[in-house]
Chain A
Amino acid sequence: MKDTVVEVNKLRKAYGDLVAVDDISFNVEKGEIFGLLGPNGAGKTTTFECLEGLRKPDGGTFKLMGESPNYNYSNLRSTIGVQLQTSGLPDSMRVDEAMNFFSAYHNVTSRYDLLERLGLREKMGTQYHTLSTGLKRRLSLALALAHNPPILFLDEPTAGLDVQSRVELHNMMKELQESGTTILLATHDMAEAEKTATRVAILLRGKIITTGTPHEITASGAGLTKISVRVEGSSLSIPNIIFSNVTQYLSKDEYKIYFSTNPGKTVSSIIEYISRQKDSLIDLRVERPSLEDRFLEITNKKVRK
Chain B
Amino acid sequence: MKAFKNHFVFEFKTGIRDKNLLLLNYLFPLGLYIMLGFLMKNINPDFMEIIIPSMVVISILISTILGLPDPLVKSREAGIFRSYKINGVPATSIVVIPPLTTIMHMIVVAIIIIPTAFTMFDAPLPQNWLYFILIFLLIAFISAGLGVLIGVASSSSRATILWSQLIFLPSMIIGGFFIPQNLLPDILKKIGILLPSTHAINLFRYYSYNQSIGYNPVWSLVILIVGGILSFGLAIYLFNWDNQNKTRRGHPAFAFFAIIPLIIGAIFLP
Chain A residues with a Cβ under 8 A of chain B: 52-56, 74, 77-78, 80, 82, 84, 86-93, 97, 100-102, 104-107, 127, 140, 143
Contacts and interface: CB of A to CB of B under 8 A. Distances in A.
A233 to B, nearest CB: 63
Interface of B: 2-3, 5-7, 10, 13-14, 17-18, 75, 78-80, 82-83, 85-89, 241-242, 245, 247
Q: Which among B5, B10, B18 has the highest number of chain A CB atoms within 10 Å?
A: B10
8 contacts: A53-B85, A54-B242, A84-B86, A88-B83, A90-B14, A101-B3, A104-B2, A143-B83
B10 A87 contact: no
A147 to B, nearest CB: 8
B87 A102 contact: yes
Contacts, number: 73
B7 A101 contact: yes
Nearest to A81: B86
B80 A101 contact: no
Q: Is the interface of B mostly helix, strand, loop or mixed?
A: helix
B86 A89 contact: no
A87 B18 contact: no
Contacts of B7: 101, 104-105
Contacts of B6: 97, 100-101, 104
Nearest to B6: A104
B255 to A, nearest CB: 23
Given A54-B82, A92-B18, A93-B10, 14 more contacts: A52-B86, A53-B86, A54-B85, A78-B88, A91-B18, A92-B14, A101-B3, A104-B2, A105-B3, A105-B7, A106-B87, A107-B3, A127-B17, A143-B87
A88 B71 CA distance: 13
A84 B82 contact: yes
Contacts of B247: 56
Contacts of A77: 86-88
A255 to B, nearest CB: 49
B88 A106 contact: yes
Contacts of A56: 247
B13 A84 contact: no
B89 A105 contact: yes
A101 B10 contact: yes
B18 A88 contact: no
Contacts of A82: 86
B83 A84 contact: yes
A53 B7 CA distance: 22
Given A54-B242, A55-B245, A105 B87 contact: yes
A42 to B, nearest CB: 17
Given A54-B241, A92-B18, A100-B6, A105 B79 contact: no
B231 to A, nearest CB: 23
A140 B79 CA distance: 13
A101 B13 CA distance: 13
B172 to A, nearest CB: 29
A48 B2 CA distance: 30
A104 B1 CA distance: 9
Contacts of B5: 104
A85 to B, nearest CB: 9
A107 B89 CA distance: 11
Nearest to A77: B88
Contacts of A88: 78-80, 83
Contacts of A87: 79-80, 82-83, 86
Nearest to A54: B82
